[in-house]
Structure 1
Amino acid sequence: MKNRKALLIIDMQKGSFTSKTPRYDTKGVVSRINILAQLFRASDFSVFFIQHDGTKTNEFVPNTTEWELLDDLKVKATDVFIDKYANDIFYKSKLQSKLNDLNIDELFITGCATDFCVASTVQSALTKDYNITVIEDGHTTGDRPHLEAKKVIEHYNWVWQNMIPTNGKIEVKNFECIKNDLMRH
Structure 2
Amino acid sequence: MNSLEDVVKFFKAYLDVDYAGNVAVYSESDEVLNGRRDASMKFWHAVPGTFLSPGFGRPMGMTAEQLSQLSATANLAHRKLFMVVEYSDPTWGILYTGYIGGDRETTAQSYAGLLYATKIKGDLKIIAHYREDIDKVSPPVHWRHSQGAEMTSLATPVAVRALEAPTGRAAHRQDWETLRNAVADR
Of structures 1 and 2, the larger Rg is shown by 2
The structure, 1 or 2, with the larger RCO (C-alpha pairs under 8 Å, 6+ apart) is 1
TM-score, scaled to structure 2: 0.28
Structure 1 length-normalised TM? 0.28
